[in-house]
Structure 1
Amino acid sequence: ILLCGFTGGGAAIPQPHSNPASEVPSSAEMEPDRPIGYGAFGVVWSVTDPRDGRKVALKKMPNVFQNLVSCKRVFRELRMLCFFKHDNVLSALDILQPPQIDCFEEIYVITELMQSDLHKVIVSPQPLTTDHIKVFLYQILRGLKYLHSAGILHRDIKPGNLLVNSNCLLKICDFGLARVEEPDPSRHMTQEVVTQYYRAPEVLMGSRHYGPAIDIWSVGCIFAELLGRRILFQAQSPIQQLDLITDLLGTPPLSAMASACEGARAHILRGPHKPPSLSVLYMLSDGATHEAVHLLCRMLVFDPSKRISGSDALSHPYLDEGRLRYHTCMCQCCYSVPSGRVYTRDFEPAAERLFSHSYEESMHSVWQGKEFIHRFITEHQQGKRVPLCINPQSAAFKTFIR
């Protein structure tokens, strides 16, 4: 077991609780710890929680304290994972006990273990019905509405960051590039965001300020990918990416390029005028009905100010069946009683409050960032279950660290 629990005196608790239903552990409980994913900012393993024998995901965040930017990014992601309370957004179940601050170099976060991600589903030979697509799209937009209502931009929505289970439950994950929405348009934001295939045109054109609409564009690309089982805009470079977008949407008007950098605007204007060719979207698959294409066209709008919002997209009639299926047999907010199904009053709840990042303004050094994060984890664990830490005697430990 990669994890072990500690009592107040520091004694190891080497074994999980016994299975009350049987003295023989199931095959899932006997499954060894193993890596399940690697990202730009860490590695994720499937591990066993020794307190209850439950399989969970353990994310390792290495090299946290290399510089101040890294400190702020990791602390932001950590606080977000602890802030989230939504069925379609991955959140932290626990954070491992940190060592003394002088030895504190890595962070380990426990989240729910999901079986796969949407990218693996799309490229698999498994059939995707219209019902599958509607319930997936509904959950993506439901989770995104929650994030945006908390003032959070994900900035890397793509199929690989949408975790799914065999019952089609979906959760948005990977908040390494997420940040709080910037209300001041004069404040510049980085353009090094979003995987290229899902990058909105305003980011491709060098806009120094953007908002929630960049996530909606990404969802539109994923929607088309679910319908056609192939990437909609698969280019070799950002310039070619922009060309593929204008091939489909046509040459944008000058008003849609108001925030673009001069070079990108000149590139568009130098080329021949292109008429829109949105009718090709009907050829994505048999599931590309008039309703589906109508919603897709509302998402794939060049001008971000005219792109549909997450809340409005959820109100589109195409998603009515996805909403019904999700709340009839998949959600945690509705429940069944002998007399029938009791439905929640709010099918797509917003966040109860905005996510605050004011703490970043008072973080001026790496050591200060380390103190902030160490204190946050320690306070987060107070009053919780027996804290967990890495078990260095585990056979999986050396592989995990490597």
Structure 2
Amino acid sequence: MIAMSRSTAKTNGGTTSKQPQQQQQQTLHHPYYTSNSGIPSYSSSSTSSSNSSATLASTANENEPGDFLIGYGAFGVIWAVTDPRTSRRVALKKMPNVFQSVVAARRAFREIKMLCTFRHDNILQAVDILQPPSQIDLFNEVYILTELMQIDLHKIIVSQQPLSIDHCKVFLYQILRGLKFLHSAGVIHRDLKPGNLLVNSDCLLKICDFGLARTEELDKTKCMTQEVVTQYYRAPELLLGAHHYSYAIDVWSVGCIFAELLGRRILFQASSPLKQLDLIINLLGSPPLDEIATACDGAKSYIVSKTWRAAKINMLYSLSKNVTHDAAQLLLRMLTWDPRKRITIQQALENNYIHEGRIRYHSCMCRCCFSTPTGRQYTVNLEPVRGFRYDDSDENFCSMRQAKEYMHKLLTEFSQANTVPLRLNHDSPLYKTFATSQVAQAHELPPSPVAWDKL
């Protein structure tokens, strides 16, 4: 479904040269077919030179895995495709509604920039970007290539695949490790859930989907949107209408995911935000007013009007036999009403329960440590941080024209950094299906937060 353009192919000397017009657009014809059976074997090869790419383009064979739809959400549609330069399987994300509004454009810009700039083993990375049209007026959609992972954590949880305590620990460790990097860059993910955690058969995990991510708001007097986090993983301060929140909302989401890994079912699964709040009260008990200080007046009145309930912490042990005392205690430190008292990512990483997950990850899964004839050589910094804050100063466009100009510049700069640019292959049998695929409709999205001022 994607093809390469050789107009900027590198010469042997490392410089770029213009190719004759008839060679500028070379299309790779793959015998594409829709396939949902099994998980293909993915190559880990890196980007090759233009000469080897040309060879791959001319020797595509019928045994290659076909393109197929992976999934879709509010901001994009994702397909599994083959990179014609390397024959590597990658994910192609189509973002068709980028310029519906300035807010949508800003979110798309932020996600693409994060995918292109963050470099961490537990965070999904961009592989390439399809070149945008040269004329900005024709620029309406964005196509980005990322690493292709085999499955998401939600599918594993609902499957018959056995999940041991060791699985839970190594998955939880990687989630925390990736989040530590994000938080060190000043970024709140704001949509952590099993479906946004991608996993390979070797248990390597990567955090994805930064469509709702944003930098921490340092000015506590500024209002932040509550239209974030899928309802089941939404922190109580969001459910209670808080106008300002912190990294702690990500920690709550991790707690919900951790409980789901242990129990193989969603911890707080309700049909509406109000019922979601009731489920939290059923487990954690009624909160004192000082622990919901950031709640709006309507939410506080609702809590006060409810019959007081005591916490039922023992319910955690009924999730599964995998819930040990240490697991339950860590869960309770993540699932705390007051975000100020909630455990931080760094504190969670220092918890004894995480230690075995850290050992397993760095003993055989990570790329930061390596084996030698004398034994395993461990890096000094097992959980690296970014070291400097993510710069969002270039997101301040205020018109659609500005949004297109900023986005076009970002995509052009990134795509030109690669050896052989890519374009869509309009001759692919699946191109029409891909071109007409759309994002999730409104009725397919999770419920919005409670409008407390209208109750």
C-alpha contact 1:14 1:50 (8 A) present in aligned 2? no
Deviates more, 1:193-202 or 1:391-400: 391-400
Code of the residue aligned with 2:228 in structure 1: it is V
Map residues 234-249 of structure 1 onto 2, 5 A cutoff: 234-249=269-284
Name whichever of 58-67 and 219-228 sits farther off: 58-67
Does the C-alpha gap of structure 1 residues 213 and 58 become closer, same or farther in structure 2, counting only changes over 3 Å? same
In structure 1, the residue matched to 2:5 is 5
The letter of the residue matching 1:4 is M
**Given that residues 17 and 52 in structure 1 are in contact (C-alpha distance below 8 angstroms), is that contact kept between their aligned partners in structure 2?**
no
Q: TM-score, normalised by structure 1?
A: 0.96
SS of equivalent to 2:413 = helix
Deviation at 1:83, TM superposition (A): 1.5
CA deviations 1:162-203 (Å, max 9, x no partner) are 000111100000111111110111000011111110000000
How many angstroms apart in 1 are the aligned matches of 2:238 and 2:3? 41
* Residue of structure 2 equivalent to 1:210: 245
The separation in 2 between residues aligned to 1:337 and 1:203, in whole angstroms, is 49
Determine the C-alpha separation between the residues in 1 that align with 2:4 and 2:95: 18
Residue 398 (structure 1) aligns with: 432
Distance, in Å, in 1 between the alignment partners of 2:205 and 2:264 is 18
Native 8 Å contact 1:115 1:165 kept in 2: yes
Structure 1: gaps (5+ residues): none
1: CA distance between counterparts of 2:80 and 2:329? 40
User: Shift in Å at residue 280 of structure 1?
Assistant: 1.2
| Ranges of 4+ aligned residues in structure 1 off by more than 6 Å | none
1:365-384 → structure 2 map (5 Å cutoff): 365-384=399-418
Q: 2:164 aligns with which of 129, 141, 159?
A: 129
The root-mean-square deviation of aligned C-alpha atoms, in Å, is: 1.5
In structure 2, the gaps of 5 or more residues are: 9-18, 29-52, 437-455
Q: Structure 1: how far apart are the matches of 2:424 and 2:244?
A: 41
- For 1:317 and 1:59, locate their aligned partners in 2 and report how far apart those are by CA, in whole Å: 38
| Secondary structure of 1:59's aligned partner | strand
Paired residue for 2:290, among 221, 231, 255? 255
Partner of 1:266: 301
Q: Which moved more, 1:317-326 or 1:93-102?
A: 93-102
8 A contact 2:215–2:392 mirrored in 1: yes
Mapped partners of 1:376, 1:197: distance in 2: 34
What corresponds to 2:196 in structure 1?
161
Residue in structure 2 matched with residue 175 of structure 1 by the alignment: 210
Aligned residue number for residue 257 of structure 2: 222
Contact kept, 8 Å, 2:194 with 2:257, in 1: the verdict is yes
CA displacement 1:356-401 (0-9 Å, x = unmatched) = 111123x121011101111111122334211111111221211110
Could you tell me how far 1:258 is from its partner in structure 2? 0.9
Distance apart, 1:69 and its partner CA: 1.2
1:75 corresponds to which of 102, 109, 121: 109
Shift of 1:3: 3.0
Does the 8 Å CA contact 2:83/2:90 hold for their aligned counterparts? yes
- 1:289 paired residue number: 324
The alpha-carbon distance between structure 1 residues 129 and 335, as it changes in their structure 2 partners (threshold 3 A), is same
* Residue 89 of structure 1: aligned partner: 123
In structure 2, what is the Cα distance between the partners aligned to 1:252 and 1:83?
40
Output the CA distance in 2 between the equivalents of 1:179 and 1:268. Answer: 29
Q: Secondary structure at the match of 2:367?
A: coil
Q: Would the aligned equivalents of 2:330 and 2:348 in 1 still touch at CA under 8 Å?
A: yes
**Quick check: 1:5–1:50 contact (8 Å CA) kept in 2?**
no
Is the CA contact (8 Å cut-off) linking 1:63 and 1:106 kept in structure 2? yes
SS at match of 1:60: strand
Displacement of 1:18 = 5.0
Distance in 2, Cα, partners of 1:108 & 1:303? 40
* TM-score calculated relative to the size of structure 2: 0.85
Structure-1 separation of matches of 2:162 and 2:5: 43
Deviation at 1:309, TM superposition (A): 0.4
Moved more, 66-75 or 129-138: 66-75
TM-superposed CA distance for 1:37, in Å, is 1.2
Identical residues among aligned pairs (%): 58
Residue 304 of structure 1 aligns to a residue whose secondary structure is coil
1:216 CA drift (Å) = 0.5
**1 CA distance for matches of 2:94 and 2:424?**
11
Greater shift, 271-280 or 155-164, is seen at 271-280
